Structures are given as structure tokens and as C-alpha cells.
Amino acid sequence: MQDTLMVLEASYDWRLILLSIAIACTGAFVAFEINRRLTKLTEKKQIYKWIFIGSIVLASSIWSMHFIGMSAYQLHIPMDYDSRWTVVSFFAAFAASFTAFFVLHQKQSSISALLSAGLITGAGIAAMHYTGMQAVSFAGQVTYSAESVIGASAIAVVGSFAAFALFTYMKISRPLLQRVGASLFLGLAVSSMHYTGMEGTSFCIPETYSLFLTPDPVVNQTSLLTATITGTAVIFISVQWILFQEKRWFHETHYKDAITGLHNQRFWMKQVPSWNEEFKVIIYADIMRLRALNQSYGFTSGDAVLKQAAEMLQNRISPESFVFKSEGSKFLLCLKDADNFTADEQLSALQLPYEANVFQDSQRIHLSLCFGGTAVESSTPPERLAAQAEIALAHAKQQERTLFFYEEKNHQDLSDEWMEMSLRKALQNKEMAVYYQPQARAYSGEVNKVEALIRWQHPDYGMISPGVFIDAAERFGLIMPLTIQVVEKVCLQLKEWQKAAAPIQRVSINLSPLHFEFVDANRQITEVVHRHGIPPEMIEWELTETSMVENLQQMAGQLLELEREGFYIALDDFGAGVSSLTRLQDLPIHTLKLDKQFMNGFPGSDKKQQVIQLMITFAELSRMEIVCEGVETKEQLASLQKMNAGFIQGYIFQQPVPASELVFSFAPLTNSEGNAISDQEK
Ligand code: C2E
Ligand code: MG
Ligand code: MG
């Protein structure tokens, strides 16, 4: 006789329901965080590693939610799980999660791809649930109502679509509250799929077995523990892993140089207080003419040269010494005395010849490196050590020596007393020279305008650039005599050019922000120009944005005075400071000089280009001339030409040079379509 089946009564333990939902939501949160991180990765191997970890986290949380949910559903008869089906159910969850991450991080995920992925993922989650149910083994059988299967599967599919939409939305950084909200949503969606499925699930036993029913509900402790421990452990371990990776990333991006893989100078600055005493010498090494090399062979070769130089430098010093990457083509070396390889021996090794492969045509080239060093004293702050080595490097370059050491005798370089005394002497002995840099027309390459840039020809140290002494001249009240000397020299030079019928029509001269604080300053400079009989329209005064900050009213008055005299006025380093555009329109400014900072990473992104285009258009609309400073590459020049930039000042044409070396016309570097021409074409 066939035994009739009876449906068992079940009750829910609400604490376990909450635990299952909490695990699902926490897993979703971690998965969202992994998803956010994924968008920042570019390397394929890394992407797959993170997708794998993300899938494990999401799958484990769905899976353990299911089995904790099963423990929350309590019958009065023991229930067990078949281990093979349990494992299969995990793989179903993993496949669903992997599909989700994989589709989301395809470069071009079309709507139809997302929809089918939603369907596949939803089906995967439903499959996880029902294979998990298949694992259930007890003294009866499980039946499902068709409505609940359809309902639960529909929730799984719709939930997956919603999850995809949320994941895509969460790719960009969102505030924590939104991220938590999205995780709760996803966690609840997955849990409600489970509990809807359970609503239409009946556990039946033959009526004759009713004798085996226990008075109290039975919980399978092993299954509950396994599910809880697996879920929490996976989440905990992955959070630790994410934190560890974040820390590593921070280190890599902040303290490491991407090209050479060396620690950067910022790292040195951070570490140096604890290291100072250990090192004997600090040296800056600079690869000469790397810029030219980049231009002739391309940036990939330039990068390859930097990398090889880094390796060579490392090989020539003791293992206890260090090489750090400084900016541009520079490295910072900290040398330590070792018994078998002293700092002096390392210095000699560093000065041996260098050769590197340039990948194009696999050519081998000679590299010339310049070194500027300083002895380490533990009492000297790191910034000062770096400044001393920098000065030494500048001397080495000026004197065309491989190595220059910052020694006792020139220790005074940085001392105020020495600087003041030397500057006074320099003004007296007329040690100041004026160099000129062309401001060429962007399209034709013609030069009618130049900028006058001061240089100090020091009898002992060679040429010193204004960055080192202008600030000191301002502090010691020497800026006015210095400006006057520059104006005198420029006037004399203009007369020379007039005699030689050179095409120069205007020279721009830099004025210190302090200039506008002196009551008599304008009269003094105007007097010099008049005395030499130079027409004022041949001179343009450059003032910096910072001079505009204070006392705008007074400054506007002084500028008007200069304009009335017939001089031109330029705003230097525009965009580096704080000037507001409305302020500019109140001042008599004829030329805007776009700061060289704008050229960093230009042409690069569209955004960069749009900002520069905006400046150019602003200048045009305000009827001002525009000079783009710091233009170094052909790509920059070609982009600026397309944007209709007026004038170009930068190394691409010529560095500041003595008047005799000035070039008055450059071949425009574009073809008829306005594209930069290659070296071969040139
Ligand atoms: P500035 O007026 O903005 O001058 C432009 C600076 O950019 C010059 O540096 C020039 O050599 C440099 N430069 C030009 N093209 C490029 C390029 O393509 N790439 C890069 N990286 N740099 C480029 P310099 O001659 O060292 O002058 C520095 C600053 O010193 C000047 O900046 C100016 O503010 C000041 N200065 C120079 N001469 C005088 C002067 O006679 N009087 C006053 N008060 N200040 C001066
Ligand atoms: Mg200037
Ligand atoms: Mg400038």
C-alpha cells in the first residue's frame, strides 16, 4: 500500500534570517568596492585577478546567505546536505558573479550585452538556489510550486538587471551613503529571491514517518556553522586584501616612478630624517639633452633611456647606496661608505661613460650625465641638502663639468649676507647680462617680439639663473637698480637692432611685483627709455598675476600711467595665479602670457585643450594678444596653431640666448593641412 505524504510544518528563526541578509548585504558592499577599483585598472592580468576575487566574494555571500537561510527554515525532522550538490551550487553562484563582473568590464558593453548578461546572471542565481535545494537530503521529498519557481527566478533576473545598473552607476566614485544604500538593495534582492523560492517549497514525508518528528525544531549546526564561517571569512579576508592593495597602490602611485620603477624624491624626503646620518654624499644626476632625444626618437625611446640610466646608476653604486628618481631627467643618489666600495670610489664609477639603446633602429647612443653633489651633515635639513646639490648641478652644467661638488668655499651660496654682498658687487661691476627669447608668430614662425630675461654672469660660478637671485634682490631692496640695468641694456640693444635693421619691434621686460610699491618707479624706467630715444611702443612691461592681488586700485593707476606714455603691458604667467577675468578687463592689459604650466600634459586630454582654447578665445574677445609660454614639442605647437594661438615662446623655437644668437625667423612646423610634420618631412 502506498503511504500518503504529509507536508511538514516549518518555522523561521528570524535571527538567522537577519544574519543571512546581513551577509548578503556586506558581500554586495565589498563587491561594489571591488567593482569601483576595477575601473581604475588597465593591465589585463590585474583586471582578471580582481574580477576573480570579486566573483568569489559575491558568490560566497550569495551561497552562505542561502545556507544560513536554510538553517533559518526549521523543520521538526533532521535535514542533511549532500556535499557534491553543495559544491555545484557554489559554482553556479560563482559563474553568475563572474559573468556579472566580466560583462561590466568589457570596454564596449552594449545594452543588448547587458540585458543578456542580466538574464544569464539571474538564471545563474536561480540555478544556485535550486542546486542548493537539490543538496537537501532528509527522510522525505521536496516539492516546489510552479508560481514560486517562476516568481523567485523572475526576482533573480530582475534583481540582476538592477544590480548591473547599480554596478555601472557605482563605477564612478559615489558617496558612502549611496554605496551603502545600493549594497542594501542588492543584498535584499538576493535574499528575497531565496525567501520567495522557499515560500512555494514544501518538505513532505510519508505519514508513517510522523513518529520520527521531534517536539522541537531541528537545526543542522554543521551546515549553519559552515555557511556562516565561509561567508564571514571570505568577506573578512577580501576586505583585508583590498586594504593591503590600497596601501600598496598608494605607495606605488605616491612614492614610485612609473617609468623606472625607482622610489621618487618624495619618498626620499619622507625617509630622509631617519637616514641622513647614514649617508655620506647626496648627488643629483641629470641626463643631458634628454629632451632633444625625446624629440628625435620619440617618448618611448626617451623612457627606455631613462630606465637604462636608472639601471646603470644602480649598478655603479654599492648595494647600500640608493638611487631615487627626481623630476624630468634627474636622479637623486644617496651614497654610503662601504668597506670595499667607498663613496669616493662610487663617485668615480659614476663618472665613467654611459651608453644606452635607443629602440628605434636599435641604435646605441652615448649618454652624457652631469652630477652635482654635496656632503651630508646630519644637522642640515633635507631641503637644504637638495638645494645645495641642485646648485652644484647647475654649476656643473654651466661649467660643462661632469661633476661639481658643493664645498666649504661655496657653502655661502645660500647665506643671505653672501648673497646681498655679491649682488651689490654684481650691480656695481655690471655682471648682469640680458638674454632674449623669441616670441614667434604661431603660424609663420616670424619673430618681431622678444622677452628680455636677466642672467647673472658670476665670475666664479658662471651663469646663474634669475630663479636663484631675483627673490634675494627683492628682499635686499636691490630690485629697482636691477630693473634699471635691464632697461638700460634693452634700450642699447634696441638701438643696435635698429641700426642693423633687424625685424624686432618690441621687447618685453619683466617687472617685479615690488615695482608697483615704489612711488617713483614708473618715472625712473620711463626716464631711461626717453633718454635713449627709444619709442615707448617698442617696450612691453610684464607684470605677474601675483602683483595684481594686492592694491589693485593703486596698480591700475600706475598701469594707466604707463599706457598713457605709450608702453604696452603684458600679464605674465597668466592662469598660474588668482586673477579673475572681470578684474582683467578693468586693467590696461594688451597681452596675456599663458603660463607654461598649461603645457604640462598638453595636448593630452580634450579637457586640457578646451581650457587653452577658452583662454585663447577670451584673449581674442578682449582684444588682447596671446603668448603661449613653455611650448616644447611639435605636438603642442601643432595644436596651438590649430587653435589660432597668436604667439609662441618656448624651447621648441629657441631658449633664451644672448642677442647675437637670436634667430628672427623659424620654419613653421606644420604642413598645409595644419598637421605637425615629422622629422623626415622637415
Ligand atoms: P618668466 O617671465 O615667466 O620667463 C619665462 C621663463 O620660462 C624663463 O625662465 C624661460 O627661460 C623659461 N622658458 C621659456 N621657454 C620655456 C620652455 O619651453 N620650457 C621651459 N621649461 N621653460 C621655458 P628664466 O629666464 O629662468 O626666468 C625665470 C623668471 O625670472 C621669469 O619668468 C621672470 O619671472 C623672472 N625674471 C627673469 N628676468 C627678469 C628681470 O629682468 N626682472 C625681473 N623682475 N624678473 C625677471
Ligand atoms: Mg616674463
Ligand atoms: Mg612667464
Cα–Cα distances in angstroms (integers) from residue 674 to residues 439, 634, 639, in the given order: 20, 12, 9
Nearest ligand for residue 468 CA: 1
Compute the distance from residue 629 Cα to the ligand 3 centre, in Å: 6
Which of 629, 652, 654, 662 gets mutated to test ligand 1 (max ligand atoms within 8 A of its CB)?
Answer: 629
Determine how β-strand 80-81 pairs with β-strand 136-137.
antiparallel
Cα–Cα distances in angstroms (integers) from residue 339 to residues 318, 319, 336, 342, 343, in the given order: 10, 12, 10, 6, 10
Nearest ligand for residue 570 CA: 2
What pLDDT is attached to residue 409? 56
Nearest ligand for residue 599 CA: 1
Which of 423, 453, 476 gets mutated to test ligand 1 (max ligand atoms within 8 A of its CB)?
Answer: 453
For residue 467, give every residue at least 6 positions away whose Cβ sits within 8 Å of its Cβ, in sequence order, or none. none
Compute the distance from residue 595 Cα to the ligand 3 centre, in Å: 6
State the fold for domain 265-414: Alpha-Beta Plaits (3.30.70)
Q: Whose CA is nearest to atom 23 of ligand 1?
A: 630
Q: Whose CA is nearest to atom 43 of ligand 1?
A: 510
Which of 286, 455, 493, 510 gets mutated to test ligand 1 (max ligand atoms within 8 A of its CB)?
Answer: 510
Compute the distance from residue 451 Cα to the ligand 2 centre, in Å: 7
Q: Residue 436, SS3?
A: strand
Neighbours of 502 (CB within 10 A): 17
Determine how β-strand 591-594 pairs with β-strand 625-629.
parallel
SS (H, E, C) 479-540: HHHHHHHHHHHHHHHHHHHHHCCCCCCEEEEECCHHHHHCCCHHHHHHHHHHHCCCCHHHEE
What pLDDT is attached to residue 678? 38
The closest-lying atom of ligand 1 relative to the alpha carbon of residue 651 is 18
Domain with CATH 3.30.70.270 in the chain: 265-414
Compute the distance from residue 506 Cα to the ligand 2 centre, in Å: 14
The closest-lying atom of ligand 1 relative to the alpha carbon of residue 595 is 3
Compute the distance from residue 578 Cα to the ligand 2 centre, in Å: 17
The whole-number mean pLDDT for each consecutive block of 10 residues of the chain, a chain of 682 residues, reads: 79 94 95 84 86 94 95 91 94 92 75 82 92 90 92 91 81 80 91 92 88 86 91 94 88 86 88 74 91 78 92 94 90 90 91 86 85 85 79 80 75 63 90 95 94 87 76 88 96 96 96 88 95 97 78 82 95 76 80 90 82 91 93 90 93 92 80 42 36
The closest-lying atom of ligand 1 relative to the alpha carbon of residue 454 is 38
Cα gap 438→449, rounded to integer Å: 6
The closest-lying atom of ligand 1 relative to the alpha carbon of residue 652 is 18
Compute the distance from residue 453 Cα to the ligand 1 centre, in Å: 6
What pLDDT is attached to residue 672? 42
Compute the distance from residue 666 Cα to the ligand 3 centre, in Å: 21
Euclidean distance between the first and the last CA atom of the chain, given in angstroms as a whole number: 101
Nearest ligand for residue 485 CA: 1
Compute the distance from residue 571 Cα to the ligand 1 centre, in Å: 13
Query: What does DSSP assign to residue 210?
Result: G
Cell of 269: 624626503
pLDDT digits (tens, 9 = 90+) for 284-293: 999 988 877 8
Cα gap 568→591, rounded to integer Å: 8
| HSE-CB of 336 using CA atoms within 13 angstroms | 14
- DSSP-assigned letters across all residues of 25-73: HHHHHHHHHHHHHHTT---HHHHHHHHHHHHHHHHHHHHHHHHHHHHHE
Considering the domain 421-659 in this protein, what is its CATH number? 3.20.20.450
The closest-lying atom of ligand 1 relative to the alpha carbon of residue 465 is 26
pLDDT digits (tens, 9 = 90+) for 220-265: 889 899 999 999 999 999 999 999 988 888 888 788 988 899 999 8
Q: Whose CA is nearest to atom 35 of ligand 1?
A: 466
What pLDDT is attached to residue 391? 81
Compute the distance from residue 454 Cα to the ligand 3 centre, in Å: 13
Point out which residues pair with 287 in neighbouring strands.
369
What pLDDT is attached to residue 424? 92
Nearest ligand for residue 649 CA: 1
Find, among 53, 70, 65, the residue nearest to 26 by Cα: 65
Q: Which residues of 7-43 are buried (b: 16+ CB within 10 A; e: fewer)?
A: ebeeeebeebbebbbbbbbbbbbbbbbbbbbbeeeee
Site residues for ligand 1, CB cut-off 6 Å: 437, 453-454, 465-467, 470, 486, 510-512, 542, 572-573, 596, 629-632, 649-651, 656
What pLDDT is attached to residue 191? 94
Compute the distance from residue 596 Cα to the ligand 3 centre, in Å: 7
Element (H, E) at 21: helix 14-38
Query: What does DSSP assign to residue 3?
Result: P
Domain with CATH 3.20.20.450 in the chain: 421-659
Cα–Cα distances in angstroms (integers) from residue 658 to residues 218, 235, 452, 461, 489, in the given order: 96, 68, 10, 18, 12
pTM above 0.75, yes or no: no
